[in-house]
Each structure stands twice: as C-alpha cells, then as structure tokens.
A and B are shown apart, each in its own frame.
Chain A
C-alpha cells in the first residue's frame, strides 16, 4: 500500500474514505442527506456560522476544556508523562455536546423544527436534549431498552430537559437498534426533522461533519501542549466505539508523523469470548446505517450483537474514517476488556479525583498497560471523553455494592 501524502484530504465528494463511507440509505432519505450535505458545505463557507458556533462553544459548553497533567497517575504507572484532555468538564459531561452544538445550528439554518437522535450511554442523548432545549425545538431520543435500564440517570436527565425518550425493543435493544429506530423515524418525518447523529457514522456527510465539529479537541490539545511542554505529544489515546472522541483528538495531528495514536476498542468479556465490541479486531467490511465500514457480522451478513459493559461502546460498527485509518496503519487499534476498564475507572477515581466515563476508562485501561513501558519524557494525551457519574450503578453492581 502506498502511503498517502496527507491524511486529511478524505472523504471524496461522495463521502468515501478510501473504500469506506458513502451514502447507503433508502431512496426516501437520499434527498435529505444531500440537503444536509449542501447546507453543511454552505455553513462551512460562511464565517458567521463559525462565529456563532464558537460563541456557544465558549460561553455555553465552556471550551476550551483543560489539558491537565495527571501527576499522581503518571508517578503510579512510572512511565510516560500523562496528560488528560478533560472533555468531561464540558457542559453535559462529555465531548458529545461539541457535535450537537454544530448540528443544531445547522438544523436551525435549514429551518428544521424537530430533532431526533439515537443514544447508547445517554451522553449523546443528553447533549442533544440540551441543545434542543436551548434552541426550543422538540426532541425525540431513541434508546435501546437494555440501555434505558443500565443508564437510568441519563434517561431521567433527558426527560427533565424536555425530550421524549423512546424505548427501542427490537434486536439487541442497544445502540445499533436505537440507530435503526432513529432512521425509521427520519424516513417517516422527512419534511421537518433533523437527525443529530451521535458519532462519526451514518451516511455522508455525517462522518465528515461530526469529525469537523469534534476536531476542536485536537486543535486545543496542540496549543495547550505547546504551551505546557513546548512540543507536540508523542502519543494520543482515546476509546473508540463509533469513534467521535477519538477522531476529535486525532484529526489535527494526523499529518504529524511523530505523533503516535492509539484507539481502544471494547473487548467486553475478551476477544475470544465472542462477547465484545472490537469491530476492527473481530469484524469484516460491511454495510449498515448508511455507511460501508467494518461490522461484527456472521458469515451470512447478519449483523451480530456487540457486547461491552460500556453502553457507549456497545456498537457492532465503527466510523468509516477509522476503518480507513486502520487500513492505512496511521492509528493503532487496541482493546481493553470490561474488567480492565472497571479497574481503570477505580484507579482514575483514586489517583486523580475524577470518575471517568466507562467509555473513557477503556482508554485509561490501555494506558495502565502501555504507559509503564515508555520513557519518562514520553508525552501522552488521553482523551477523558466523559464523566462517570452515569456509570456508578453499573460499577456498584460490578463490585457487589447495593446502593
């Protein structure tokens, strides 16, 4: 394979990242996704759009998020110097608000009057319900019945924010099925509805658009690291389900060959157990939810259920740009199990006084394995993509504690 001159020229005009991406949607939706694309291209070229987005990111979301030197964790692990990119300090407690703010401003520009979204852990649902409340638009969130059970606090938060939470009872009753539910709603409500997708997935332009909105994470990290250390980091680490926080951190560094990147998939009960969500490790190229990418599937092309203790990583696919970066070997895809992540969750709580989201705890789990093998002058940035308050019931259950 020849190495591309640049890793930031994807996708092509039809939304292809190499062989991945595209627009694999029913014909009813085609005019809509083309309209979203046209509106986004227009917005991108309009300085007023960026000014408005920047205003809300600064004054409402609370950006920039800090880059914090995790001194105790660094000393405990005894290797790389670890920085935490603190996306969990954003309003609503995760990075999801970055792309929700961008998308709702676009929805307003397009004159849409109703918002829908899917959610797994509920972080994207809460962020969507939040911006919908802010801009006074009715909002329906699709969520798998299983996730509603394991993410009760976020379900209640969404309802408090005025959103309708619709339980999806089909299939594995988790994130994949929530996305099916949202797509079915969109097909039936084409006139007035804007679909705020929660990851770098779905049909073009969503993977590109969500990436663009999330890339603020990496841009800030670059400036903050230059200020703190006077040079670029040596490595970046982020968890990956669909891959929005990972691409957000990585994108600005893709053309800096000295910056290594590690994306951590959810290995669930273990890669050999058959119960995991490690799409790139255990999946094959396929087509679902508007995109060609890697999916967990059986030999007859039926999508298989993913498993992860973390609802936000419990998805059998991955964003198409990640599939491309995987093929290009620009990003190294590794994994962490449920058990390792629960360990890392507790370690981060005790060492840094921060409860990480179980999703982010997967990134930390890899760090606990990897950082000790590195020299002390190795600068590592870990994306702390969300906070873990939503996960305390899952953790308590795991530890045998009755709340």
Chain B
C-alpha cells in the first residue's frame, strides 16, 4: 500500500480527518523552508504538499506567485526540491509528500526521469495543475510503476458528464477545489462544499480532500465535518510573508509563528 493510502487508512481507523498543508519549495529561503517542513508532522500535519515553483502559475493567486518568486531568488530548482524531500525522508518515513506544480518543469526534467528521481527521493504523489485527465496518461504510465499517486482534481464546474472522466484513473485521494478561481482569493462556502462532496462520495472509494479558499482554523473545522481532508495553502504562505523584513529576509521567530498557525489549523481539523 502506498504511503498516502496507509495514512488515510490509519486516520479512518482512528476516526480522524486529515490536515494537509501546501507551501512553495524554497520559500522564503531553502534553510527556513526545510526547518518548517521538518517540524510539520509534530505540529499535526498528516500529509504535506510541496509546491514546485513555476514562472507562470496560472492556477495560483498572488500569494503563491510571490512565494514562487522568493523561492527563485533563493535559488530553488527541480533538483533542489527533490533534495529537500530526500533530506526530510532521512528522519520521517511515514508522512506522505505530494509535489504540486505545473507540467512544463516536469516535462523539461524528463517525465520518466522525474518520476524515477521523485520516487527515489521519497515522493508519494503528484498534482500537476495543468495536466487534466485527457493529458496525464503518459505521466500516470510512469507513476504507476513507481507506486506514485497522480492526484486528480474535481471542481465546482465538474458536472455529471465530467465526473467519471476525472474518477477514471484517479488514485491516492481526490482533491476537491472548493471555489471556481485561483488559489487564495475566494472563501469556500461550507454548504456548497457539503453538497459537492456528498455528490462525489457515492462514485468513489477514495478519500476526498477539500482545498482552495480555506484560511482559518474555524473554516478548517467546518469543512472537515464534510470532507476526509482539509488542505490549506495560501493562508500559510501569507503567514510566511508576514514574517519577512523589508528586504524579504526571514525575521527571527518566523518558523515558530508559522508552525503555531499550522498547529492551530491542524488542531481545528482534528477536532472533528
């Protein structure tokens, strides 16, 4: 069983909801990023998404776009991202790591080589925002050999006709994008999320995570009532940005403050 499936099975057995974070690799600098990453499991994070910064992140809002720019300034690249994951795996064998990004850097790396190196580094899942089911066949053909899950996205625009297309070939968990829009710009409506998750549930055995538009512990707690996992990204990225000085450097106390926020989100999610 994959690390993602194992983790969700364990959570289900304990009757707990999963809390998932998203941060951009190398934001605000490589050292600070790795420090936050290493401490997340102890702060209550069940699965970790790491963004692979891209020059043209069309599915992302300003918060994550700026995080990408900070990461580029800090010298991030695909090889370093895989190195960060490998370092994390030296001390953590259980928490699933999911890389999230865009197709071009992955293709430029070489699809098969990327999947192979990601597997060797300890990556468990991939979310490629601009590879819809119609275009991810090649990626999945390599990923399945390495037991890496290619996580599919469902959105408010997914209708009855579209749903089977997305579910066919999905693995790991399903990522429900709770608002039609880019990351970090709109607030998820609890009632619409409940309706959407209830509509998806009968068609799949996969866990359903909800992300986009969840920014506070209160929202996380509400959404967790209806989903198997809550995903928070931009709000954490904003918390990192709030702890930078005028030159864009990490202020002392950044790691503690960000982890405190993550802990609060995790606790709220787990309160269900």
Chain A residues engaging chain B, CB cutoff 8 angstroms = 14, 22-32, 170-171, 176-177, 180, 183-184, 187-191, 284-290, 295, 297, 299-303
B132 near A24: Cβ-Cβ < 8 Å = yes
B186 near A28: Cβ-Cβ < 8 Å = no
* A187-B182, A301-B78 known; A26-B153 Cβ under 8 A: yes
Q: Is B65 an interface residue (CB 8 A)?
A: yes
| Complex contacts, B59 vs chain A, CB 8 Å | 26, 28, 187
A170 near B185: Cβ-Cβ < 8 Å = no
B132 near A23: Cβ-Cβ < 8 Å = yes
* A25-B132, A27-B154, A31-B159 known; A288-B181 Cβ under 8 A: no
B56 near A180: Cβ-Cβ < 8 Å = yes
B107 near A184: Cβ-Cβ < 8 Å = no
| Complex contacts, A288 vs chain B, CB 8 Å | 56, 104
- Among A26, A190, A295, A303, which residue has its beta carbon within 8 angstroms of that of B130? A26
Q: Is B238 an interface residue (CB 8 A)?
A: no
- Alpha-carbon distance between A31 and B158 when the two chains are bound, in angstroms: 7
B130 near A287: Cβ-Cβ < 8 Å = yes
B105 near A302: Cβ-Cβ < 8 Å = yes
- Alpha-carbon distance between A300 and B109 when the two chains are bound, in angstroms: 7
B104 near A286: Cβ-Cβ < 8 Å = yes
Q: Which of B98-118 contact A (CB under 8 A)?
A: 102-109
A300 near B182: Cβ-Cβ < 8 Å = no
User: Which chain B residue lies CB-closest to A284?
Assistant: B108
B130 near A32: Cβ-Cβ < 8 Å = no
* A295-B104, A301-B108, A302-B105 known; A184-B182 Cβ under 8 A: yes
- Alpha-carbon distance between A23 and B106 when the two chains are bound, in angstroms: 17
Most buried by A among B61, B102, B152: B102
B55 near A302: Cβ-Cβ < 8 Å = yes
Pairs across A and B, CB under 8 Å, 9 listed: A28-B177, A29-B157, A190-B157, A287-B102, A290-B130, A301-B108, A302-B104, A303-B55, A303-B56
Minimum CB–CB distance from B62 to chain A (whole Å) comes to: 8
User: Which chain A residue lies CB-closest to B103?
Assistant: A287
| Complex contacts, A22 vs chain B, CB 8 Å | 134-135
* A180-B58, A300-B77 known; A24-B131 Cβ under 8 A: yes
B181 near A24: Cβ-Cβ < 8 Å = no
Q: Is B155 an interface residue (CB 8 A)?
A: yes
Chain B contact residue count (CB 8 A cutoff): 40
* A23-B134, A300-B77, A303-B56 known; A30-B180 Cβ under 8 A: no
- Alpha-carbon distance between A183 and B108 when the two chains are bound, in angstroms: 23
User: Which chain B residue lies CB-closest to A169?
Assistant: B62
- Alpha-carbon distance between A27 and B135 when the two chains are bound, in angstroms: 11
* A30-B162, A297-B108 known; A24-B135 Cβ under 8 A: yes
- Alpha-carbon distance between A281 and B185 when the two chains are bound, in angstroms: 39
Minimum CB–CB distance from A282 to chain B (whole Å) comes to: 15
B105 near A300: Cβ-Cβ < 8 Å = yes
Q: Is B129 an interface residue (CB 8 A)?
A: yes
| Complex contacts, A300 vs chain B, CB 8 Å | 77-78, 105, 108-109
Most buried by B among A188, A286, A287: A287
- Alpha-carbon distance between A299 and B110 when the two chains are bound, in angstroms: 11
A26 near B129: Cβ-Cβ < 8 Å = yes
Q: Is B190 an interface residue (CB 8 A)?
A: no
- Alpha-carbon distance between A22 and B134 when the two chains are bound, in angstroms: 9
User: Which chain A residue lies CB-closest to B129?
Assistant: A26
- Alpha-carbon distance between A29 and B181 when the two chains are bound, in angstroms: 10
- Alpha-carbon distance between A23 and B55 when the two chains are bound, in angstroms: 19
Most buried by B among A188, A189, A300: A300
B157 near A32: Cβ-Cβ < 8 Å = yes
| Complex contacts, A285 vs chain B, CB 8 Å | 107
| Complex contacts, B185 vs chain A, CB 8 Å | 188
| Complex contacts, A170 vs chain B, CB 8 Å | 65
Most buried by B among A14, A24, A191, A301: A301
* A170-B65, A287-B107 known; A25-B130 Cβ under 8 A: yes
Q: Is B156 an interface residue (CB 8 A)?
A: yes
Task: Name 15 extra pairs, CB < 8 A, besides A180-B56, A287-B130, A300-B105.
Answer: A14-B134, A23-B134, A24-B132, A26-B58, A27-B166, A28-B180, A30-B134, A30-B157, A184-B181, A188-B180, A188-B185, A297-B108, A299-B108, A301-B104, A302-B104
- Alpha-carbon distance between A288 and B56 when the two chains are bound, in angstroms: 8
- Alpha-carbon distance between A189 and B55 when the two chains are bound, in angstroms: 23
B134 near A27: Cβ-Cβ < 8 Å = no
User: Which chain A residue lies CB-closest to B177?
Assistant: A28
- Among A28, A295, A302, which residue has its beta carbon within 8 angstroms of that of B157? A28
Q: Is B54 an interface residue (CB 8 A)?
A: yes
Minimum CB–CB distance from A320 to chain B (whole Å) comes to: 13
What 0/1 pattern do residues 22 to 57 of B give for CB contact below 8 A with A? Answer: 000000000000000000000000000000001110
A27 near B153: Cβ-Cβ < 8 Å = yes
User: Which chain A residue lies CB-closest to B182?
Assistant: A184
Minimum CB–CB distance from A303 to chain B (whole Å) comes to: 5
| Complex contacts, A190 vs chain B, CB 8 Å | 156-157, 180
- Alpha-carbon distance between A196 and B159 when the two chains are bound, in angstroms: 24
B156 near A28: Cβ-Cβ < 8 Å = yes
- Among B105, B109, B130, which residue has its beta carbon within 8 angstroms of that of A24? B130
Minimum CB–CB distance from A197 to chain B (whole Å) comes to: 14
| Complex contacts, B106 vs chain A, CB 8 Å | 301
What 0/1 pattern do residues 235 to 264 of B give for CB contact below 8 A with A? Answer: 000000000000000000000000000000
B132 near A27: Cβ-Cβ < 8 Å = yes
| Complex contacts, A289 vs chain B, CB 8 Å | 56, 58
| Complex contacts, B156 vs chain A, CB 8 Å | 28, 190
| Complex contacts, A177 vs chain B, CB 8 Å | 56
A27 near B177: Cβ-Cβ < 8 Å = yes
| Complex contacts, B78 vs chain A, CB 8 Å | 300-301
| Complex contacts, B180 vs chain A, CB 8 Å | 28, 187-191
| Complex contacts, A180 vs chain B, CB 8 Å | 56, 58
Q: Which of B79-108 contact A (CB under 8 A)?
A: 102-108
| Complex contacts, B132 vs chain A, CB 8 Å | 23-27, 30
